[in-house]
């Protein structure tokens, strides 16, 4: 589909007019000139810790960055998201663009950045200090070029994207703001990628509980660990469709007291994912049955009813399906071509864009530019070579969506 993809004549004409505009050209050129400054800012952001559920220090730092750039209505909301408004001149659409503040790394992890042979090394330096820095660069370019938009752009940093954060920041933002017409998350670095499909996930904490006892003296009692093992084996034998891609994994297991004890407690964390909300629900239904079967079989093995299973939902990211013909997707494609970045569609993924997609709000993921490796590891690295192309693409996408006064009308329609 990527090779055959074409934008409409309306979108193509709009981007021809944007490219010919002197202020827009100035903004594009500024983003390339601002590259070194953006990298320095990326390093500074990364060195402010933001472990899961403890993003406050980085959020306050980012809030000050937004204030210094002169945005209106800069604030921190009840969940810890920080954002401000680039005011438009008319009654155009409102677009929210954000990057997640949190990292996957535990409190106390060193986030000091080290440079080696042109690469920057530090936990979180690509995911997602790059996205946060890219947004600040876009704001500077708009200010420097004197861009007057028709619609409003809300720029921000949001909490709770990683792991068990469960998109809590974005969920809170869209609960509290019902006037958003489109959303862009800046996450990842490969500037060619446009992601418009969302992988949904359900994450469960599953605990088996029983009486426990001495491995010799109490032999004959059912074991919570044995029940957990039965459940894991059943899950591992499931078959899921390749298309739409649907996956499962038991990522963490804990339990037991000692080698010579019958386990009273055993717990696992289970991740279920699919690009289809329907397939996700089907798999979830099957898994719930398997979990109870495992408890029943362990009890039956020892003629008992002592083993019970407790199932707790700890993560819920909805899947999202939308058309590639939407104005937000076409604008991103045309914007990419306008700044000389060959566009391509990414596979369905799990990002902050999941939530607005599930609500019927047009949403995409764009990337911050550059190259990366070893994400979510202590050896994570970022290569800044030509990284300015990411902010250039975000800049041009936003201008097309909200419109530029006296140049083009907004491509993104206002929602009813």
Shared domain for 102 and 239, answered yes or no, is no
Shared domain for 213 and 78, answered yes or no, is no
Shared domain for 353 and 301, answered yes or no, is no
Q: Specify the pLDDT at position 316.
A: 94
Domain count, the chain: 2
Shared domain for 125 and 163, answered yes or no, is yes
Residue 4 pLDDT level (bands cut at 50, 70, 90): confident
Residue 145 pLDDT level (bands cut at 50, 70, 90): very high
Print the domain residue range for 217. Answer: 200-317
Q: Specify the pLDDT at position 213.
A: 97
Tell me if 384 sits within 8 A of 370, measured CB to CB: yes
The answer to whether position 3 is within a domain reads: no
Q: Specify the pLDDT at position 174.
A: 98
The answer to whether position 409 is within a domain reads: no
Nearest-angstrom CA–CA distance, 103 and 99: 11
Tell me if 180 sits within 8 A of 152, measured CB to CB: no
Whether 6 shows a pLDDT value over 60: the answer reads: yes
Whether 327 shows a pLDDT value over 50: the answer reads: yes
Shared domain for 70 and 19, answered yes or no, is yes
Which of 302, 317, 332 is the C-terminal boundary of a domain? 317
Shared domain for 168 and 205, answered yes or no, is no
Q: Specify the pLDDT at position 22.
A: 98
Nearest-angstrom CA–CA distance, 357 and 196: 9
Q: Specify the pLDDT at position 73.
A: 98
287 Cβ partners below 8 Å, 6+ apart? 235, 238, 248, 270, 272
% of the chain surpassing 70 pLDDT? 99
Whether 3 shows a pLDDT value over 70: the answer reads: no
Q: Specify the pLDDT at position 373.
A: 97
Tell me if 268 sits within 8 A of 231, measured CB to CB: yes
% of the chain surpassing 90 pLDDT? 96
Residue 321 pLDDT level (bands cut at 50, 70, 90): confident
**Torsion angle in degrees (nearest 10) through CA of 380, 383, 388, 390:** -50
Q: Specify the pLDDT at position 375.
A: 94
Label residue 302 exposed, middle or buried (CB < 10 Å: 0-12, 13-18, 19+).
Answer: middle
The answer to whether position 413 is within a domain reads: no
Whether 58 shows a pLDDT value over 90: the answer reads: yes
The answer to whether position 410 is within a domain reads: no
Q: Specify the pLDDT at position 404.
A: 98
Residue 163 pLDDT level (bands cut at 50, 70, 90): confident
Q: Specify the pLDDT at position 223.
A: 98
- How many alpha carbons lie under 13 Å from residue 187 in its C-beta half-sphere? 27
Q: Specify the pLDDT at position 95.
A: 98
Residue 133 pLDDT level (bands cut at 50, 70, 90): very high
What is the mean predicted confidence (pLDDT) over 184-195? 98
Q: What are 30-43's pLDDT values in tens digits?
A: 999 999 999 999 99
Shared domain for 210 and 294, answered yes or no, is yes
Whether 1 shows a pLDDT value over 80: the answer reads: no
Q: What are 111-130's pLDDT values in tens digits?
A: 999 999 999 999 999 999 99
The answer to whether position 408 is within a domain reads: no
Shared domain for 169 and 131, answered yes or no, is yes
**pLDDT averaged over every residue in the chain:** 97
Residue 225 pLDDT level (bands cut at 50, 70, 90): very high
Tell me if 178 sits within 8 A of 89, measured CB to CB: no
Shared domain for 297 and 326, answered yes or no, is no
What is the mean predicted confidence (pLDDT) over 52-76? 98
């Amino acid at each position: 589909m990527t090779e055959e993809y074409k934008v409409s004549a309306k979108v193509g004409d709009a981007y021809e007019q944007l490219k010919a505009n002197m202020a827009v050209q100035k903004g594009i050129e500024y983003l390339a000139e601002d590259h070194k400054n953006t990298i320095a800012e990326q390093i500074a952001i990364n060195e402010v810790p933001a472990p899961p559920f403890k993003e406050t220090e980085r959020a306050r730092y980012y809030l000050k960055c937004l204030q210094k750039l002169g945005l209106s209505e800069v604030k921190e909301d009840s969940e810890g998201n920080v954002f401000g408004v680039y005011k438009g001149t008319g009654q155009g659409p409102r677009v929210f663009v954000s990057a997640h503040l949190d990292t996957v790394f535990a409190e106390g992890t060193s986030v000091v950045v080290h440079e080696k042979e042109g690469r920057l090394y530090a936990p979180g330096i690509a995911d997602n200090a790059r996205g946060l820095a890219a947004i600040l660069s876009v704001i500077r370019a708009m200010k420097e070029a004197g861009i007057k938009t028709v619609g409003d752009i809300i720029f921000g940093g949001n909490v709770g994207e990683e792991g068990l954060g469960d998109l809590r920041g974005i969920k809170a933002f869209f609960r509290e703001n019902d006037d958003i017409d489109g959303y862009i998350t800046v996450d990842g670095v490969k500037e060619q990628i446009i992601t418009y499909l969302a992988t949904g996930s359900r994450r469960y904490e599953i605990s088996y509980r029983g009486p426990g006892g001495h491995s010799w003296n109490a032999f004959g009692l059912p074991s919570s660990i044995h029940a957990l093992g039965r459940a894991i084996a059943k899950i591992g034998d499931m078959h899921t469709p390749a298309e739409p891609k649907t996956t499962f994994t038991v990522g963490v297991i804990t339990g037991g007291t000692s080698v010579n004890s019958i386990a009273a407690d055993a717990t696992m964390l289970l991740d279920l994912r699919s690009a289809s909300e329907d397939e996700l629900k089907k798999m979830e239904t099957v898994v719930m049955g398997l979990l109870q079967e495992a408890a029943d079989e362990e009890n039956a093995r020892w003629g008992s009813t002592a083993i019970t299973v407790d199932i707790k939902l700890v993560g819920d990211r909805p899947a999202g399906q939308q058309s590639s013909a939407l104005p937000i997707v076409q604008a991103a494609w045309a914007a990419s071509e306008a700044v000389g970045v060959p566009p391509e569609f990414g596979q369905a993924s799990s990002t902050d864009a999941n939530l607005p997609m599930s609500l019927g709000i047009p949403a995409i993921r764009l990337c911050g530019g550059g190259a990366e490796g070893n994400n979510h590891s202590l050896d994570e690295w970022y290569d800044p070579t030509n990284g300015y192309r990411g902010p250039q693409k975000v800049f041009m996408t936003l201008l097309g969506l909200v419109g530029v006064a006296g140049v083009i009308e907004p491509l993104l329609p206002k929602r009813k």
